[in-house]
């Protein structure tokens, strides 16, 4: 018998892992919810197929532009 386990969704922002507060929502709904408290989610596009399985989590890495330096 083949058993499947639901993976918990999480996001990697420059090494900081944030667990998804809405595990049953779609990826877009989760990102929209997280963008209210973390504006970095507005600066990138995340696709469903980019998730990587790490342990019991499906982790999506945010690809952000490099920080700007005043100079």
Instruction: Please write the tens of the pLDDT for every residue from 1-27.
Output: 777 888 899 999 989 999 998 889 999
Residue 71: the pLDDT is: 62
- Angle at the Cα of 34 from the Cα atoms of 32 and 36, rounded to 5 degrees: 80
CA 33 – CA 27 distance, rounded (Å)? 10
Contact, 37 vs 30, CB < 8 A? no
**Global pTM exceeds 0.75:** yes
Q: How crowded is residue 62: how many other Cβ atoms within 10 Å of its Cβ?
A: 19
Residue 8: the pLDDT is: 92
Q: Which tokens go with 63?
A: 């690809």
Residue 28: the pLDDT is: 93
Residue 40: the pLDDT is: 86
Cα–Cα distances (Å) from 23 to 3, 43, 65, 66, in that order, read 20, 22, 27, 29
Residue 70: the pLDDT is: 77
């Amino acid at each position: 018998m083949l058993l499947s386990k639901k993976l918990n969704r999480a996001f990697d922002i420059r090494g900081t892992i944030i667990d998804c507060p809405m595990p049953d929502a779609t990826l877009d709904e989760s990102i929209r919810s997280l963008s209210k408290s973390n504006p970095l989610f507005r600066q990138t596009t995340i696709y469903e197929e980019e998730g990587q399985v790490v342990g019991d989590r499906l982790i999506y890495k945010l690809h952000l532009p490099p920080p700007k330096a005043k100079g």
